[in-house]
Chains A and B, each alone.
Chain A
Amino acid sequence: MDKRWKRWLLVVIGAALLLLFEGRPAYAMHIMEGFLPPLWAAFWFVVTLPFWVIGLRQINRLIAEKPETRLLLGLAGAFTFVLSALKIPSVTGSSSHPTGTGLGTILFGPMVMSVLGTIVLLFQALLLAHGGLTTLGANAFSMAVVGPLVAWGIWKGLKDRAPVWVTVFLAAALANLSTYVVTSVQLALAYPDAVGGFAASFVKFGTIFAVTQIPLAISEGILTVLIFNALQTNAETELQTLGVLKGA
């Protein structure tokens, strides 16, 4: 009886969240199609390419050696999928969305996450005109490379020194924040201010993206803590297989 009640509660909360976040027209947070000059667009593709190559190799090896983690790989992708679709209103009066890359990074490392993140970006670029194909390299670099690298650094650095939830929270929140700092850098590099140069431009784009992003980074941190906690309860074996948590 008690369990049934809990399950229904979960369904109701899920439905409420969907209604809350999906009910209004959505916009995009990544650099839009055609909005990076060709040279910069190409540059970011070249920079991101090695991460995709290594990531794909790691995924192949992972599936071959630990097939039992396939489902968890799907979960990490699904988490990014959901979170990227949640346009959450923020204090600046505009909306932005979480990236969801923190979880996959903690589970599989930044290289694997760079592939998963790019798949989500590709989906959104092709079907939703959100982000773009020409800007895919740049958007992948910010969301699927730098974000995960930041999360990885925090996870590795704090893992044994702080409570797990603090580490997970910081890793996910700062991955999110750094994604949009990088986006601002990318835009500022491509569009330096006529007077103030790169710095003035960076401040301009930075205020648009990063400030909007701070509350969302906190939200993302909390959501990642929630799902990680659920994993600890339900998928302890898999976490140990991946070496995420040591066996009790």
Chain B
Amino acid sequence: MQPKPFGWGVSLLLLGIVIVMAIVPLLLIRDSEFGGADAAAEEAIAEVAPDYEPWFTPLFEPPGGETESLLFAVQAAIGAGLIGYFFGLKHGQRQARASTSAQRAPTGQAVAERVTE
């Protein structure tokens, strides 16, 4: 099937769905801190294998939630920056192409006229 990109309206609508899906649980479930699913898994491990001792500890652990969220924000920012750069560049290239071909069109016409003369 020949792909056809959709426009801004659909994009915003889709983004809206993602945001709503993230907000709804926050509104519905009041008595939760929304901890990581892995912390829950850790508890389950403790249930199944109460004697298990982790045999290796992280080499570096963020001292607290603040530093951890800082590092996650940095991670997201690096990624988002790269994505922004990519699309900015491509957008600019596309515009440059469009303007050079617009400039070329009359020249092409002039050549064609000269040929017919």
The interface of chain A, by Cβ under 8 A from chain B, is 6, 13-14, 17-18, 20-35, 37-38, 71-72, 74-75, 77-96, 123-129, 132-134, 160-165, 187, 191-194, 201, 204-205, 208-209, 212-213, 215, 218-219, 222-223, 225-227, 229-230, 232-235, 245, 248
A interface majority secondary structure: helix
Across the interface, which residues of A come within 8 angstroms of B91, CB to CB?
A: 234
Chain B minimum-CB-distance residue to A161: B1
B76 adjacent to A209 (CB under 8 Å): no
**Does B106 have its Cβ within 8 Å of any Cβ on chain A?**
no
Across the interface, which residues of B come within 8 angstroms of A134, CB to CB?
A: 55-56
Complex CA–CA separation, A230 to B8 (angstroms): 10
Across the interface, which residues of B come within 8 angstroms of A22, CB to CB?
A: 69, 72-73, 76
Q: Residue B59 contacts which of A28, A71, A133 (CB distance < 8 angstroms)? A: A133
B48 adjacent to A82 (CB under 8 Å): no
Across the interface, which residues of A come within 8 angstroms of B49, CB to CB?
A: 191
Residue of B39, B72, B90 ringed by the most chain A CB atoms within 10 A: B72
Q: Residue B69 contacts which of A24, A88, A92 (CB distance < 8 angstroms)? A: A24
Instruction: Tally the A-B contacts, defined by beta carbons under 8 Å.
Output: 219
Complex CA–CA separation, A167 to B72 (angstroms): 30
**Does B114 have its Cβ within 8 Å of any Cβ on chain A?**
no
A89 adjacent to B72 (CB under 8 Å): no
- With contacts A89-B26, A163-B1, A225-B14 known, is A27 near B39, CB below 8 A? yes
Across the interface, which residues of B come within 8 angstroms of A205, CB to CB?
A: 41, 44
Complex CA–CA separation, A160 to B3 (angstroms): 10
Complex CA–CA separation, A223 to B18 (angstroms): 8
Complex CA–CA separation, A14 to B80 (angstroms): 9
Complex CA–CA separation, A74 to B38 (angstroms): 29
